[in-house]
Chain A
Amino acid sequence: MSAITTPNQFDVPAKGNEPHGHNYLNHSKGILSWMFTLDHKRIGLMYMALVLFAFFLGGTFAMLLRTELIAEGPTLLADKTQAWNLYNHMFSLHGAVMVFLFIIPAVPAILGNFILPMQLGAKDVAFPRLNLLSLYVYAAGAAFFLYVLLSGVINAWTGYTMPGGFGLDTGWTFYTPYSSSKSMSSVIPATGGAFILGFSSILTGVNFIASIHTLRPKGMGWFDMPLFLWGLYATSIIQILATPVLAITLMLLIAERAMGIGIFDPALGGDPVLYQHFFWFYSHPAVYIMILPAMGVISEIISTFSRRHIFGYTFIAYSSIAIALLGFLVWGHHMFTSGQSALTNVAFSLITFSVAIPSAIKVFNWVTTMYKGSIRLETPMLYGIGFIWMFSIGGLTGIFLAALSVDIHMHDTYFVVAHFHYVMVGSMLFAFIGGMNYWFPKMFGKMYNERVAAFAAILLFIGFNLTFFIQFVAGSHGMPRRYANYPVQFVSHHYWSTIGAYIMGLSLVIVLFNWVAALLNGKKAPANPWGSNTLEWQSASPPPHDNFPTTPVVTDPYDLDRWRYVSDDEGWVLTDEAKAAIAAGTARTGQLH
């Protein structure tokens, strides 16, 4: 904090590295220095390795299940029953791995861990040890899922059933009583894994909430925070409030399966619909765990690449909190056909519609931010525009499903599948990859190949829409979800959907190779390649171990006029006026108040 009195000490280095070339990557050496690091940046990178591996696994399952569906009848295996079983295991593992191991942790644990303390101008998160613990808890949970996968593979090859069962064929929702009394698959290891992953999520949430509350630098009030932090804050609220309910639910499910305790199994006096209530009380807010930080990323990207101050800052910030809180009150819309009372359905339908309003506010504010901007279509911005497209479709199709009479028809069809993939994959994945591209130079100090990245973004956009838009049509005609086989009328829908999935897969491979290529021989990145004004860009690329040599000066995070473009090598630097303002101690623009 002493920097405030002597601001001249701080100047943004023009070139990427600190004078002596020290950064968090080479701060200390050896595998132990990574495994026991308390540095949020290194933890973020380790999360990245694990989460991307999980994404690769989940993606592989997706390719396999789409391949099974490319034609009518058994495709991957000649035998009908084996083909159906394989498909059932594939879609269950795809869902479970993607939800619990990828979309929930992706943005908070990777981008959040790396960026949140830096946007706060802090040296670390509030509880660095808990942060490291959450990483290992995540790894332990992931190991359970690997066990599930392994047990399935071993059973398929040798016929040997490992303790707990083999594979996972319950769907990621683990609905009782199928999961508790019928399925032969590794339900206990899988739910145990999800239970453990929940604690990783809780630890991250606790950490982020405490960090945002107490580590904000002098001068950064709640409404001076970058919107990414608002997104993370809203997400953390959901993580700490909803995840424990999932944990207890899964614990009951495990006890039910292991001991037959009879909470959910009607044969033992239990109620299977209660399980659904418990499960969705977590899992619907979990959808917002995925999307809220993604919205934060998009807010940063849209503003930066439009060179405009974000429009309607307070409305975007409040709408994040509104979505987080409303998200707790809408779980019943997953159960409109389950036989809950008509009055309950009506109430949940009404509250569900209310989520549409803050979502609409965000979209319109993003679009308005672009008005009169100076828009640069660099790769993160392509993902930003793609996000708005995806989220508009995903959000608007949610209205069909919130409307009771239409939902009765659409429920559990491909219309729902397409809807949530537009939100959870289209939107969230676009924000994640966009955010990765946006912060990649900061994380690694290297620039990726812009042309390849843009090509991959466009290809991903095409592939995604081909895969999922046609599923709306199949669904509204009655194609039920989780079907290993389908009537002939849906053949062409599934064929084109699978082709789209292959295009998606290809584009994701290109994205990954582009990153790897950049790591190996990318151009050195400047400290601020995009001209953003959030605090992380005021550190070197990659940042030093302690993030900032001195505490940076807080200004309006979207006051982009403080920066001017120099060259691709040097990126953006502070204008002379901005430097003078820092020197004079009047740097804080405070335009928001």
Chain B
Amino acid sequence: MIADEATLSRLMAKAQQGDRPAYNVLLSEAGMWLERYFRRRVPPHQQDDLVQDVLMALHAKRATYDPTRPFLPWLAAIARYRWVDHLRKVYRNETDLLEEGDAVEDSEEDVITARVSLERLFIHLPEGQAEAIELVKIEGHSISEAAQKTGQSESLVKVNIHRGLKKLAALVEKAE
């Protein structure tokens, strides 16, 4: 079970004063909280790297925590920032958002929740872009298959994926 907000805030305040045992507990608890946070946001094989990335950021920017404010929103803001950065890297490298087999490891509930979250974001995309991303990046079809299914040219499918992913990253960043 992950510690409650009040405990985490207290531990972080102590960590800012140099209390190592408190910091060790805080990092472990934050790590577990982040695992849950990223479970529905990135494929399983990327989760641990992202958790460690956020813990490093927490360490580097620990002075920016204001002890009079709650801890979890502060941690969530850093986690979202690193997540958006991660999405940008994925977008730039043109690697798959979801790799084959990832969904099998997730529970059915996780898959449905992830799907619902994506569909909420897709509402903000033009139909062509959402369709191209769904077919190629989620369902795993090739560019030419997606072109045949949608009636778009292969170039247009690529452009739609490019623009759609860029817009999705911007939407996630913009969301408060």
Binding between chains A and B: no
Interface residues of B (CB under 8 A from A): none
